[in-house]
């Protein structure tokens, strides 16, 4: 694998339109933070490893929610034991040896990310898989995502990918762009590609009225 850019330049891009709610990111995160780091051993560990990423259902979307690693993290400011600190790369991490489970960080977080673990009596939070990054690997959640709902890279790289995707949609007539610039769809391109594949949000909307009983 090619060398990664400086860690402080890297971000994770979340695309709810691509998320199908499979929770592979949650499983990968829990396994990465287990003692064994093995899928079939991690569930039997005591305490059971907990995922730091959570997929929340916000109809018609699934949204993988995780720590934002704020530039001025309120969780770090309110922690009375200094259990929360920032690495040289800018990642906000928690030291469970210092955590007393007071939940001040959870109350201060505007995204509701830190969670209390009754088994360890401490808080767990995302650490951006900083150890993996230092080895030149992607975060576990990104590596496990099968649909590209989680993407990893620099802001410039990811925005270039998004721009290219939107350009393809515009010229194929799949999406209209509001604004003062109108892009004419390429008719031949549409004929060759056929109808667009259904999106997760489209499937949800079809079955939104389906109920049991």
**pLDDT tens digits for range 116-155:** 999 999 999 999 999 999 998 999 999 999 999 999 999 8
Is the pLDDT reported for residue 7 higher than 70?
no
Beta strands in 25-172 (DSSP E): 54-58, 61-65, 84-86, 92-94, 115-117, 122-124, 150-154
pLDDT at res. 165: 83
Question: pTM for the complete prediction?
Answer: 0.78
Is the pLDDT reported for residue 212 higher than 80?
no
pLDDT band, very low/low/confident/very high, at 175 (cuts 50, 70, 90): low
pLDDT at res. 190: 41
| Mean pLDDT, range 167-187, rounded to an integer | 60
């Amino acid at each position: 694998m090619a060398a990664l850019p400086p860690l402080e330049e890297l971000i994770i891009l979340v695309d709810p339109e691509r998320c199908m709610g499979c929770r592979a990111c949650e499983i990968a995160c829990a396994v990465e933070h287990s003692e064994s780091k093995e899928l079939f051993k991690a569930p039997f560990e005591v305490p059971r490893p907990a995922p730091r990423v959570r997929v929340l259902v916000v109809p018609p979307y699934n949204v993988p929610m995780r720590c934002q690693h704020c530039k001025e993290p309120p969780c770090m400011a309110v922690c009375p034991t200094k259990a929360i600190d920032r690495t040289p790369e800018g990642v906000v991490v928690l030291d469970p040896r210092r955590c007393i489970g007071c939940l001040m960080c959870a109350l201060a977080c505007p995204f509701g990310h830190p969670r209390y673990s009754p088994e360890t009596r401490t808080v767990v939070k995302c650490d951006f898989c900083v150890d993996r990054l230092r080895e030149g690997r992607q975060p576990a959640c990104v590596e496990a995502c099968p649909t590209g709902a989680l993407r990893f890279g620099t802001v410039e790289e990811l925005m270039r990918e998004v721009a290219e995707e939107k350009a393809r949609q515009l010229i194929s007539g799949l999406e209209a762009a509001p604004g003062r610039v109108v892009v004419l769809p390429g008719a031949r391109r549409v004929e060759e590609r056929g109808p667009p594949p259904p999106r997760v949000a489209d499937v949800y909307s079809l079955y939104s009225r389906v109920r049991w009983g």
